[in-house]
Each structure stands twice: as structure tokens, then as C-alpha cells.
């Protein structure tokens, strides 16, 4: 009998207790083998040379050399998939986002108790399996700094019911940043689900707000999603949108996880399809799994409620395989036949503006005909 090669993992953490718990949790999966552990980056460097692991889990706060410095050196000289396990403090959240910029595949929240992995236990093996499939070239930070792709006109140039929804997972923090920083202000409301732990999501939104032409912040229950604004779903909360009193408003819910995650892209996309119908523009970026594909199907169907007579549904843009870190969620949408365009990441901002303008022109044309 031929046995599939196991994924070889190196666990790096200064806590012996945490190293032991992570090792035990991963060892329960018969597709994964923990080949070694290290208490700091210097030991880890020797273990990498000796053991040649496929994936590494990495703590940020360690003696002798911090995890961020080690990650930068590692990705320059011996690129490999790295999952950062960081504290959920504000400083830890900022460091975790820095790690994603330096080439980490994924980030997980370190348990608050050194003796209990909590939710981390259920996620570890799945994230390791996703990390090993990552395209490392797409993790390397770009030295180019492309500018905004266009200038939005007056907010009134877009239809009042237009809505942009974005979903992403593995590799998505950088992909979302690349898209949003190239968009002008004044666009229709943007709602974002990025698979990310609690607290990290606020730091993610705050960082985007510093970089983008639009206002970006973590969503609060009952928020109005206004033109010129992007709202990020908080970690551990599903985000849905409704049309209430002539405005889009978001609700945060703690329904059971979908596709092993909360927030789930499908939850947002389904709600957008119901309330925005053909005015929905869905964007699905890099990530493992299938989250978002079924929601895109609903967007194409208009959620069963077509706001414009004789129209089927909204428009879906999907990141292509070549530029994804993990081509999972976009692949699922393509296989389901619900992607209108499959695009390299750097083409998506242009496509967003084009789709919004086409929708506005079509709507204005129909309105003129019916007058």
C-alpha cells in the first residue's frame, strides 16, 4: 500500500507548554507529522536545515530574536509557508499584520490560557493543510506602489442601491489591501469579510483606513454602510446587510460557523443578494475552502428579488489562480460557473470601477426609456 506523504511541521514557540499542546493537536491528524520543535529562532534555523519541514508555526514574542525579524530573514533566504500564532493584545495584532506583510501565509490567535488551546485546536490542522498549498511567490511583498486607478465622480453618479461585497481568506489581508488602496473615494458602500481572528480585524481595518482614500473601519452592529466607506466584519461575528429606511445597514450575528469560520463570506454575500439584487458587485479573493461560492451563486440569481425588470442578478469578479496565495475559494466559484470575470489581482480595481459604471449607465438608460 502506498501512503501519502505527510505534511512535515516545525513548531517554534518559547513556551514548552504551548509547543507540547500544538504538537499534540497536530499529531492527531494522520496527514500531518510534527518533525521538530524549537524554543527560539536560532534553534529553529538549525532545525530547518536538519529537518527540512514543509510548514512552520511561529510565535512572535521570543527571546534572542523576535519572530518578525526571523520571518523577514527566513523569507529572503529560505522561503517556506509560515503560520504565525500571535497574542491577541493590540501589540500582538499589529505584529501579526506585519507578519502577513513580511510573507506569513496565515495568522492565528494565541490562546489566552497557556494550558488550553481552545478554538485554536480545531483550526490548526486545517490551516496547516492550506498553508502547504500556498504559492510563496505571491506572498512576497511588492516593491511597486501603484497609485489609485481612477477618480470617482460625485457620489450621485452611482446608483443609490449599488453595493460592493468582498470576501477573502488565506493571503487575503494583503490582497484586500492591494485592491482597496487602488480605489478612489466616493464609491458605493463596501463590505468586507476577511477570515481573521477577533481583535486582529480591528487592527486590520485601522491599517486600511490609514492607507485608503475611503474611510475604513471595523463594523459595529447597526452601522449604516454609506458611500465612500468600507466596513470590515469583526472576527468571530457574521456580518449581514439589509436595506432599511433608504440605507444599507449591517447586523452582526453569532450564528454557527459556516465552512468552519465566522465571519463567513457566504453569509454576507447571501444577504447582499437579497437586499441589493442586481446592484450587487461581488469580489472573491484568495483563500482556502469554498466559502463565498454559494453566495456568488445567489448574487447571480439576484437573491430571488430582482430590483430591475428583466435582469438576472449582480456581477461577480474572481481572482485568478496565478495571483492567489491559495486558489480555493475562487476556484469553487469558477467551478460553480458563477464568475463573470476571472482576473489577476492587479486588474481587479479597474474591473470594479468598470462594473460600477456599466451598472450605472445601464440603470440610467433604462430609467430614461421608461420616462
Same domain, 218 and 363: yes
* Cell numbers representing residue 356 in the block: 460600477
49-58, 162-171, 200-209, 299-308: segment of lowest average pLDDT = 299-308
Please tell me whether residues 107 and 199 are part of one structural domain.
no
Candidate from 135-144, 156-165, 171-180, 193-202 with smallest mean pLDDT: 135-144
More confident residue, 48 or 307: 48
**DSSP output for 195-252:** ---TTHHHHHHHHHHHH-SSEEEE--TT-EE-TTEEEEPPTT-EEEEEEETTEEEEEE
Per-residue pLDDT reduced to its tens digit, 139-153: 865 555 567 887 654
From the candidates 40, 195, 223, 236, give the one annotated as an active-site residue.
195
User: Active-site residue among 169, 201, 266, 271?
Assistant: 169
* 58 touches 85 (CB < 8 A): yes
- Reported as a pLDDT band with limits 50, 70 and 90, residue 366 is low
Do 312 and 285 contact (CB within 8 A), yes or no? no
Plot region of 259 (φ>0 → left; ψ -120 to 50 → alpha; else → beta): left
311: pLDDT strictly greater than 90: no
Residues 329-343 have pLDDT tens digits of 999 999 999 999 999
Domain-terminating residue out of 86, 106, 139 = 139
Question: Do residues 263 and 307 share a domain?
Answer: yes
Same domain, 122 and 174: no
User: Residue 34 and residue 310: Cα distance in Å, rounded?
Assistant: 57
Q: Domain range for residue 53?
A: 7-139
| Beta bridge pairs of residue 303 | none
pLDDT bin (cut points 50, 70, 90) of residue 3 is low
Higher-scoring residue by pLDDT: 157, 103: 103
pLDDT higher at 111 or 1: 111
Tell me which residue has cell 446592484.
279
Q: Which of 223, 236, 291, 340 is catalytic?
A: 291
- CA atoms within a 13 Å half-sphere pointing along the CA-CB vector of 308: 21
The residue ranking higher by pLDDT, 311 or 22, is 22
Task: Kindly report the backbone phi and psi dihedral angles of residue 238, in degrees, each rounded to the nearest multiple of 5, phi listed first.
Answer: -70, 145
Which pLDDT score is estimated for 122?
A: 76
Q: What is the mean pLDDT of residues 155-171?
A: 87
pLDDT for the residue numbered 29: 93
pLDDT digits (tens, 9 = 90+) for 231-285: 999 999 999 999 999 999 999 999 999 999 999 999 999 999 999 999 999 999 9
Q: How confident is the model at residue 113 (pLDDT cuts 50, 70, 90)?
A: low
Q: Does residue 49 register a pLDDT over 70?
A: yes
3 is catalytic: no
Residues 192 and 297 in one domain: yes
Last residue of a domain, one of 110, 139, 168: 139
- 211 located within any domain: yes
Beta strands at 238-244 and 280-284: parallel, antiparallel or unpaired: unpaired
E runs forming strands in 60-188: 82-86, 106-109, 163-168
Active site residue 195: yes
Q: Per-residue pLDDT for 308 more than 80?
A: no
- The backbone region for 214, taken as left when phi is positive above 0, alpha when psi lies in -120 to 50, beta otherwise, is beta
pTM, rounded to two decimals: 0.91
> Is residue 74 very low, low, confident or very high in pLDDT (cuts 50, 70, 90)?
very high
User: What pLDDT shows up at residue 87?
Assistant: 80
Percent of the chain with pLDDT strictly greater than 70? 89
Note whether residue 145 is domain-resident.
no
- Do 171 and 207 lie in one domain? The reply is yes
**360 has pLDDT over 90:** no
Residue 248 in any domain: the answer is yes
Q: Specify whether 189 is located in the same domain as 327.
A: yes
As a whole number, the mean pLDDT across the chain is: 89
Rg of the chain, C-alpha, whole Å: 21
Q: Give CA–CA dist 234/218, Å, rounded.
A: 6
Per the domain annotation, does 148 fall within a domain? no
Residue 147 lies in a domain: no
- Together in a domain, 134 and 159: no
Using a pLDDT cut of 90, give the percent of the chain over it: 76
Predicted local confidence at residue 367, as pLDDT: 47
Q: What is the mean pLDDT of residues 62-84?
A: 94
CATH code for the domain in which residue 105 is found = 3.40.50.2300
354 is catalytic: no
144 found inside a domain: no
Asked if 170 and 210 sit in the same domain, the reply is yes
Among 208, 254, 247, residue whose Cα is nearest residue 226: 247
Residue 159 lies in a domain: yes
Both 219 and 90 in one domain: the answer is no
Q: Looking at residue 327, what DSSP letter applies?
A: B
Side-chain half-sphere exposure of 32, counting CA atoms within 13 A: 25
Same-domain check for residues 190 and 236? yes
Q: Domain total for the chain? A: 2
- How sure is the predictor about 157, in pLDDT bands with cuts at 50, 70 and 90? confident
Residue 229's pLDDT band, with cuts at 50, 70 and 90, is very high
Give the CATH number of the domain where residue 362 resides. Answer: 3.40.50.180
pLDDT at site 302:
83
pLDDT band at 154 (very low <50, low <70, confident <90, very high): very low
Residue 77 lies in a domain: yes
Are residues 39 and 123 both part of a single domain? yes
Amino acid at each position: 500500500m502506498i501512503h501519502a506523504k505527510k505534511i512535515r511541521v516545525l513548531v517554534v514557540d518559547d513556551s514548552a507548554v504551548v509547543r507540547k499542546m500544538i504538537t499534540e493537536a497536530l499529531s492527531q491528524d494522520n496527514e500531518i507529522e510534527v518533525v521538530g520543535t524549537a524554543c527560539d529562532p536560532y534553534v529553529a534555523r538549525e532545525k530547518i536545515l536538519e529537518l527540512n519541514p514543509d510548514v512552520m508555526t511561529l510565535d512572535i514574542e521570543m527571546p534572542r530574536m523576535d519572530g518578525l525579524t526571523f520571518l523577514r530573514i527566513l523569507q529572503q533566504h529560505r522561503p517556506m509557508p509560515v503560520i504565525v500564532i500571535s497574542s491577541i493584545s493590540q501589540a500582538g495584532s499589529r505584529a501579526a499584520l506585519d507578519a502577513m506583510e513580511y510573507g506569513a501565509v496565515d495568522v492565528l490567535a494565541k490562546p489566552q490560557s497557556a494550558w488550553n488551546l481552545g478554538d485554536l485546536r480545531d483550526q490548526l490542522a486545517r490551516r496547516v493543510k492550506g498553508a502547504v498549498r500556498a504559492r510563496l511567490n505571491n506572498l512576497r511583498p511588492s516593491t511597486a506602489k501603484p497609485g489609485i486607478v481612477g477618480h470617482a465622480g460625485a457620489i450621485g453618479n452611482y446608483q443609490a442601491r449599488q453595493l460592493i461585497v468582498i470576501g477573502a481568506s488565506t493571503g487575503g489581508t494583503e490582497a484586500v489591501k492591494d485592491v482597496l488602496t487602488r480605489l478612489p473615494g466616493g464609491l458605493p458602500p463596501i463590505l468586507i469579510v476577511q477570515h481573521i481572528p477577533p481583535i486582529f480585524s480591528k487592527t486590520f481595518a485601522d491599517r486600511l483606513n490609514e492607507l485608503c482614500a475611503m474611510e475604513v473601519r471595523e463594523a459595529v452592529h447597526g452601522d449604516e454602510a454609506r458611500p465612500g466607506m468600507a466596513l470590515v466584519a469583526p472576527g468571530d461575528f457574521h456580518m449581514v446587510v439589509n436595506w432599511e429606511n433608504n440605507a444599507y445597514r449591517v447586523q452582526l450575528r453569532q450564528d454557527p460557523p459556516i465552512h468552519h469560520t465566522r465571519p463567513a463570506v457566504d453569509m454576507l454575500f447571501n444577504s447582499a443578494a437579497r437586499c441589493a439584487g442586481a446592484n450587487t458587485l461581488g469580489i472573491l479573493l484568495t483563500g482556502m475552502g469554498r466559502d463565498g461560492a454559494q453566495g456568488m451563486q445567489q448574487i447571480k440569481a439576484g437573491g430571488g428579488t430582482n430590483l430591475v425588470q428583466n435582469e438576472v442578478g449582480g456581477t461577480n469578479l474572481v481572482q485568478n489562480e496565478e495571483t492567489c496565495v491559495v486558489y480555493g475559494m475562487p476556484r469553487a466559484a469558477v467551478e460553480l460557473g458563477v464568475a463573470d470575470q476571472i482576473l489577476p489581482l492587479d486588474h481587479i480595481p479597474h474591473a470594479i470601477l468598470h462594473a460600477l459604471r456599466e451598472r450605472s449607465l445601464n440603470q440610467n438608460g433604462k430609467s430614461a426609456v421608461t420616462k
